[in-house]
Amino acid sequence: MAKKKTKKPAKNWRKFWKLGVDEFNTQYFDITRNGELVVQEGNYIYNLNDIVKKYGSPTEIVFPFILEERLEDLHDYFRAYMKIGGYKGKFYYHYPMKVNQNKEFIMPLISEGAHMEVGSVNELWLVKKLWEEDKFHSKLRVLCNGPKTDAYIRLIEDLHLKNLSIMPIIEDEHELEKLSKYKGEIGIRINLNTKADTHWDKKIDRFGFTAKQILELPKMKNLKLLHYHIGSQITTASSVIKPIVEAMELYVKLIKIQSSLDTLDIGGGFGVPYEKKPFYSAKGMSEKMIKLLKKISDEAGIKHPNLVIEWGRYVVAPAQVTIFSVIAEKSIPKGNAKSWYVIDGSFMNDLLDTWAIHQKWHIVPVNNANTNSLKSVWLAGSSCDSDDKYTAGGSYVLMPKLKEGETQYFAVFDSGAYQDALASHHCLLSSPAKLIAQDGAIKIARKRETADSIGRLFGWNGDHK
Ligand X SMILES: *Cc1c(COP(=O)(O)O)cnc(C)c1O
Binding residues vs ligand X (CB under 6 A): 96, 98-99, 117, 119, 145, 229, 232, 267-270, 310-314
User: Whose CA is closest to 374, among 420, 341, 344?
Assistant: 341
Determine contact, residues 36/367, Cβ cutoff 8 Å.
Answer: yes
Q: How far is the CB of 266 from ligand X (least distance, A)?
A: 9
Determine contact, residues 38/31, Cβ cutoff 8 Å.
Answer: yes
209 three-class SS:
strand
Determine contact, residues 297/256, Cβ cutoff 8 Å.
Answer: no
Range list of H helices, 86-168:
103-111, 121-132, 150-161
What is the b/e burial string over 11-34, where b = at least 16 CB atoms within 10 angstroms of the residue's CB? eebbeebbbbeeebbbebbbbbee
Q: How far is the CB of 332 from ligand X (least distance, A)?
A: 34
Q: How far is the CB of 267 from ligand X (least distance, A)?
A: 4
Q: How far is the CB of 105 from ligand X (least distance, A)?
A: 12
Q: Which is nearer to ligand X, 232 or 431 (CB)?
A: 232
Q: Which is nearer to ligand X, 210 or 339 (CB)?
A: 210
Q: Which is nearer to ligand X, 225 or 364 (CB)?
A: 225
Q: How far is the CB of 442 from ligand X (least distance, A)?
A: 27
- Closest residue to ligand X, judged by C-beta, is 268
Q: Which residues have CB under 8 Å from 382's CB, separation 6+?
A: 327, 342, 343, 344, 345, 346, 388, 429
Q: Which is nearer to ligand X, 96 or 345 (CB)?
A: 96
Determine contact, residues 30/20, Cβ cutoff 8 Å.
Answer: yes
Q: Which is nearer to ligand X, 110 or 364 (CB)?
A: 110
Q: How far is the CB of 119 from ligand X (least distance, A)?
A: 6
If residue 250 lies in a helix (H) or strand (E), which one and from where to where?
helix 237-257
Kindly compute the dihedral angle of the four CA atoms of residues 136, 139, 144, 148, in this order, to the nearest 10 degrees: 80
Q: Which is nearer to ligand X, 25 or 391 (CB)?
A: 25
- C-alpha–C-alpha distance, residues 334 and 301, integer Å: 65
User: Whose CA is closest to 375, among 327, 331, 325, 323?
Assistant: 331
Rounded (10°) angle between helices 282-300 and 237-257: 30
Q: Which is nearer to ligand X, 37 or 74 (CB)?
A: 74
Q: How far is the CB of 112 from ligand X (least distance, A)?
A: 17
- C-alpha–C-alpha distance, residues 437 and 126, integer Å: 24
- C-alpha–C-alpha distance, residues 19 and 38, integer Å: 10
Q: How far is the CB of 36 from ligand X (least distance, A)?
A: 31
Q: Which is nearer to ligand X, 370 or 419 (CB)?
A: 419
Q: Which is nearer to ligand X, 145 or 438 (CB)?
A: 145
